[in-house]
Amino acid sequence: MLSDISTTGGRLAVTAGIALVTLAVGWLLLPKAVRAGERTVSGWIERLLDGRMDGSAAGAIETLREGVPGSFLLRMAVGLSQLGLFALAAVAVLTVWGRFDVVVAALPVAENAVRVGGQVLVSALLLGGAYVASDALESYVADMSADSDRITAHQEQLLTRLAQVGLLILAGITVLGIWGVNLGGLLVGAGFLGIVLGMAARQTLGSLIAGFVLMFARPFEIGDWVEIGNEEGFVTDITIMNTHMRNFDGEYVVVPNDLVANQAITNRSREGRLRIHMEVGIGYDDNPDEAAEIAEEVLDGIDPIANNPQPYAIPSGFGDSAILLDLRFWIDPPTPQARWRSKAIAVERIQDRFADAGISIPYPQLTVSYPPETAEEAETVERVERIDEEADGRSGDRPA
């Protein structure tokens, strides 16, 4: 019908009508129609999932509707619709002016453009969906961690990152397949690259694997008071590669996870209390039972020391200069401040109470004695040396 118009005036009128309709539909009606359709679909999904979706699914829908991926997809839908409408209007105008041969010649280019555009659209949809799904996964893992005491903050962070990375890798592989990339050759190259990197970064990979082991073994958590090898302090962060600590001098210590997994770990916070050992010596002439009773009374009156189980003191051995009493008590909760304070108060008060009760705390002493025959020989030698010295003195006084 358009090609049957032969007059110039008719062609101009039809061209103007096509332009007006295209502008009206493309710039006014299409954006409103797309937004109305988006609202209709969102309302339908909300009604469908009403009462059956948790907070993470609701957050995903809200992100898709109002977030960056949703607005991007909406703009893309409007743009593609406008592009298709303008292309159709251009074909109509060329047909009116008898240049349909240009349309036929441009068909291969249009087909390639449509194919590339479809690939771009599908790729954008996949990547946008992966972005939205990663946010939904993060919300889901956070909700699951909040409802369970068995998932630590380190495990939550690690699970979230692994799920997001796996999702993005899957989306990336799918996009590469859409664009016709040879995945077989790519995977072979990635395998050789992985072998080379594995040989070059064995320690890094060891720390990475040790991070997974620590995540599942859970020997400590953030905030615990631990001793790892020669390092002691509070755990401030646990990453996939390192364990971060702050020692009692205020220093920031980073320990690779492979070293953490290969050393003895002492967690002083795990049981919620900590037993302290102290030793005090009393004289051999003092009564050990009386001293132990006084020490237990002193320990009972110190605030940082727990009353259950009760502190106790027992004679534990014979020292070089004293009878040794072993003092054992618990602090609850276990903190370095409570340990130092309880020890300092115990030393000060036990010393005062022992002094009041007449119980001595001896310091190391050394007694030297000789056998009888050795003593006589030493006395004879000393007498001879003294006679020689006196003789030398008298000879020195004679005039030359």
Where do the domains of the chain lie?
8-179, 182-268, 274-357
Q: Which residues have a Cβ under 8 Å from the Cβ of 260 and sit 6 or more positions away?
A: 210, 214, 228, 243
Confidence at residue 374, expressed as pLDDT on a 0 to 100 scale: 57
Confidence at residue 400, expressed as pLDDT on a 0 to 100 scale: 47
Confidence at residue 234, expressed as pLDDT on a 0 to 100 scale: 93
**Exposed (0-12), middle (13-18) or buried (19+): which is 272, by Cβ within 10 Å?**
exposed
Confidence at residue 219, expressed as pLDDT on a 0 to 100 scale: 86
Whether 182-268 shares its CATH topology with 274-357 is answered no
Class level of CATH domain 274-357: alpha beta
CB 267 within 8 A of CB 276: no
CB 96 within 8 A of CB 15: yes
pTM for the predicted model, two decimal places = 0.50
Q: Which residues have a Cβ under 8 Å from the Cβ of 282 and sit 6 or more positions away?
A: 288, 291, 322, 323, 325, 354, 359, 360, 361, 362
367: number of Cβ within 10 Å: 5
Confidence at residue 82, expressed as pLDDT on a 0 to 100 scale: 73
Confidence at residue 56, expressed as pLDDT on a 0 to 100 scale: 46
Cα–Cα distances (Å) from 163 to 64, 71, 129, 176, 237, in that order, read: 19, 25, 14, 20, 20
Average pLDDT by stretches of 10, the chain with 400 residues: 65 75 74 72 64 49 50 67 76 71 68 77 80 78 71 69 80 80 68 65 70 78 89 88 89 88 87 90 91 92 86 89 92 88 92 92 74 60 62 54
CB 222 within 8 A of CB 237: yes
CA gap 234, 35 in Å, rounded? 54
Sign of CA dihedral 368, 373, 376, 382: negative
Confidence at residue 378, expressed as pLDDT on a 0 to 100 scale: 60
CA gap 311, 299 in Å, rounded? 6
Q: The domain at 182-268 falls in which architecture? A: Roll (2.30)
Confidence at residue 303, expressed as pLDDT on a 0 to 100 scale: 84
From the list 132, 97, 113, 122, the residue with the least C-alpha distance to 9 is: 97
Confidence at residue 40, expressed as pLDDT on a 0 to 100 scale: 74
CB 330 within 8 A of CB 276: yes
